[in-house]
Amino acid sequence: MIPEPDNIAMRKIDILDLGARPYKEVWDLQKELVEKRRNGQINDTLILVEHEPVYTLGKSADENHILQHTPREVKTYRIERGGDVTFHGPGQLVGYPILDLHNYKKSISGYMRSLEQLIIDTLAEYEITAERKDGLTGVWVGDEKIAALGVRVTRWITMHGFALNVTPDLTYYSGIIPCGIFEYGVTSMARLLTDEVTVDSVKQVLIEKFMSQFQTAESMSG
């Protein structure tokens, strides 16, 4: 149970809703904001964005997980987050928290579990039962991944984050082995729901859940 606001310290967290922006532009912005956060020039910030179709490779990703029939118009970026290869594109809600973990629990695994719980709680509002899988990162519905996670933490400042499949074109995943996992598939909220869902509507729910989870002084205490 979340304590009443009068009885707890509230952190200042800014929401930066960018709409649709090119991947490279927002990657550069993240690096700029990380330095500003480290120097105390900005508050903790959650960037929310949709990208053009791109594939990204984590720092230790296997390039063979991008398949030969990958669409040629899709750019590929090797970036500094953990994890393997993933897809970003329209209809996917991408979140990049720029947080100073000195103000939370200094645990990268704890932070990752908090991001997973954020997605699980958001999906629960749509009566989608999602969960973690032992030994794997991300959020799953059955044996299909609905959200991917990959972060970088330098001197306890976070960047990169999560990607939740709301209404993306899932055929783009046929060009990769998502997250380097052969045996499981991917899904989206649109595939699982009978009612129409939009990135903008999910965004509002996710912001509420993010604030509930990260804004209070007790966040990530376990």
Q: Is 46 a catalytic residue?
A: no
Query: How far is Cα 203 from Cα 66, in angstroms, rounded to an integer?
Result: 29
Work out the angle at residue 129's Cα, subtended by the Cα atoms of residues 126 and 135, and round it to the nearest 5 degrees: 135
In the 8-state DSSP scheme, what is residue 102? G
Catalytic residue (choose from 79, 179, 197, 199): 179
* pTM of the predicted model as reported, rounded to 2 decimal places: 0.87
Which residues sit opposite 92 in a β-bridge?
A: 165
Token output for 102? 């000195």
pLDDT at residue 22 tops 50? yes
List domains and CATH numbers for the chain. 5-214 (3.30.930.10)
Query: What DSSP assignment string belongs to 169-184?
Result: -GGGGGGB-GGG-SS-
Report whether pLDDT(110) > 50.
Answer: yes
Residue 145 structure tokens? 């991944």
The single residue listed with the structure tokens 């045996």 is 183
Res. 190: pLDDT tops 50: yes
Classify the C-alpha dihedral 166-169-174-179 as positive or negative. negative
pLDDT at 1 over 50: no
